[in-house]
Amino acid sequence: MNQNQTADLLKRSMPFQTVPGEMLEAIAKLARYESYARGDVIYHQGDFADDVFIVSSGAVQHTLGIGFQATHPEKIVRSGGVFGWAAVLDNQRTRMAKTVCMERTELIRINGEELINFFKATPETGDIVMSRFATMINKEYTMPEEVAGHVPHFTQVPVTVATGLSLTMFRLSQWLKSPKPYLMMTGFGILLATWYLAVEVWKLPRFADMPGLTTVMKEWFSKDPVYGLSIWTPEYYQHIWVSVRRILIAFFLATVLGVPLGLFLGWSKTFREYVFPVFETLRPIPILAWVPLAIIMFQGSETPVIFLTFLASFYATALNTMLGVETIDESYSRAAACLGASKWQVFREVIVPGAMPFMFTGLQISIGVAWFSLVAGEMVAGEYGLGYVINTSYTMVRYPTIVIGMITLGIVGYVSSALVRMAGDYMMQWRVRELALGGR
């Protein structure tokens, strides 16, 4: 590994990220290259801490000893990762962890003492690097702040560990540096550009009558809309609220009834024999086929729409919850039985939480189909609501308003699924953390 490659590697590591180029090259001169085989132990807990290590390729298992109060004592360090930071702490030069190579690993090592001496000449940069070391020790290695605070500082300003806000800013800047936001914007850009070009510039044959991008935007944001509906008119929000209220009621009922039904369907074989065939016969009937019956069955215009919305959601929720129960590994129930749980305790402690990932997938689908059937219902039987807006705008030849209704549906629908997803993440912390560790 030559000096440029070493400098590049340093640049990728969290503590050295902000160090200017020529200084990186100088630090690179301090570094030594080494390679290890799978299973090699780089150091044991209690060894003298001489060097810090930066992984170039491979993977190193880093296990902090008991008694250092790390909340996550185990960590896999991969390319760009830094370990062996005990070598720069000013109170403790002994290793606190054991490190083992999990595969063939290439890394560079830099003597802690030499690094600190180097930074004495450039105290400002040194403090930035050391405070980033402290943040890394605290956030990535989950060590208490007291330990992280023992990195040396060179100027009069004391070193601080990054707090909530600056950490969020760090993550935000990382996100902005990644290609994700730009890919997302490109996707939207292509959609809008195609629309604009097809309708307004090229005037393609079948697109000529469609409302164009600029027409719709002007109408949507106009204080005095031609067709009476824009973000400045109260009717716009009334329509949104009516639709949202129907969704809330229908989704609530579907969840309250669908989840227990699904749980019992999955749990009790006998119950399933009775109910499942009926369920499976009713489920394929399209929601639109229910419209006439819904109008006959329920009074007024509100209840039939809510019923239709409820029905689609209910099937999705119940079915997915049932599948969730079925996919639970039998050893969980057996383990619970071994540990003395009664049948009811197994249901409460194993079946319910075990089915939760599928249950929330069901709720995601459920909120999606709820909007789908809501709009169908509103088009046929509603007064007010976004589906009603779209339908009446069509009959009254208010084409831009149709598109405003559609875009609004898209946004409100997206927000509602995001809320369901957030609720799921909140209730399944175990799963969020598990997936986060898997790099997803």
Partner 1 sequence: MSAVMQDLKVPPQAGKAGGALKGAIRIEDVVKIYDPEGAAVMAVDHCSLDIPAGEICMIVGPSGCGKTTLLNAIAGFHSITSGKIYLDNELLCGPPEKPMAQPGADRIVVFQNGALFPWKSNIDNVAFGPMMQGKLSKKEIYEKARSIMADAGLSGTEHNFPGEVSSGLRRRVEIVRALMNEPKVLLFDEPYRALDSLTKSVMHEALLEIYYKNKVTIFFITHDLEEAIFLGHRLVIMTSRPCKPKKIIDVDIPHPRDYSVLTSTRYRQLMDETVELVHEEAKKAFSAGEKEG
Residues of this chain that interact with partner 1 (CB under 8 A) are: 39, 61, 63-64, 66-74, 100, 329, 331-332, 334-342, 345, 349-350, 353-354, 356, 428-431, 433-434, 437
Q: Given the complex with partner 1, which of 259 and 409 has the nearer CB atom?
A: 259
Would strands 32-36 and 105-111 be described as parallel, antiparallel, or unpaired? antiparallel
Q: Which residue, chain included where needed, has tokens 């896999």?
A: 76
Q: Given the complex with partner 1, which of 283 and 421 has the nearer CB atom?
A: 421
State the DSSP code for 48: B
Query: Measured between alpha carbons, how far is residue 296 from residues 229, 291, 292, 299, 301 in Å?
Result: 32, 9, 6, 8, 11
Q: Given the complex with partner 1, which of 32 and 334 has the nearer CB atom?
A: 334
Q: Given the complex with partner 1, which of 395 and 429 has the nearer CB atom?
A: 429
Min. distance of Cβ 59 from partner 1 in angstroms?
13
Strand-pairing partners, residue 76, are 61
Q: Which residue, chain included where needed, has tokens 């950490």?
A: 167
Min. distance of Cβ 48 from partner 1 in angstroms?
24
Q: Given the complex with partner 1, which of 275 and 341 has the nearer CB atom?
A: 341
Min. distance of Cβ 439 from partner 1 in angstroms?
13
**Would you state the structure tokens that stand for residue 323, as one six-digit string?**
């599948």
Cα dihedral angle (260, 266, 271, 276), rounded to 10 degrees? 100
Min. distance of Cβ 431 from partner 1 in angstroms?
7
Q: Given the complex with partner 1, which of 178 and 342 has the nearer CB atom?
A: 342
Min. distance of Cβ 341 from partner 1 in angstroms?
4
Min. distance of Cβ 98 from partner 1 in angstroms?
11
Distance CA 363, CA 341 (A): 29
Q: Given the complex with partner 1, which of 40 and 50 has the nearer CB atom?
A: 40
**Would you state the structure tokens that stand for residue 422, as one six-digit string?**
């957030």
Strand-pairing partners, residue 43, are 99
Q: Given the complex with partner 1, which of 2 and 331 has the nearer CB atom?
A: 331
Min. distance of Cβ 335 from partner 1 in angstroms?
4
Q: Given the complex with partner 1, which of 171 and 433 has the nearer CB atom?
A: 433
Q: Given the complex with partner 1, which of 332 and 394 has the nearer CB atom?
A: 332
**Would you state the structure tokens that stand for residue 207, as one six-digit string?**
């697109």
Q: At what angle do helices 429-437 and 399-427 cross, to 10 degrees?
A: 90
**Would you state the structure tokens that stand for residue 391, as one six-digit string?**
């339908």
Strands (E), 129-270: none
DSSP alpha helices (H): ranges in 328-351? 330-338, 343-346
Residue pair 130/88 in contact by the 8 Å Cβ criterion: yes
Residues 6+ positions from 257 with CB-CB distance below 8 Å = 314, 318
Residues 6+ positions from 215 with CB-CB distance below 8 Å = 400
Min. distance of Cβ 86 from partner 1 in angstroms?
17
For residue 110, the surrounding DSSP H or E stretch is strand 105-111
> Measuring CA to CA, which residue among 101, 102, 157 is closest to residue 126?
157
Min. distance of Cβ 72 from partner 1 in angstroms?
6
Min. distance of Cβ 108 from partner 1 in angstroms?
25
Q: How many CA atoms lie within 13 A of 365 on its CB side?
A: 17
For residue 56, the surrounding DSSP H or E stretch is strand 51-57
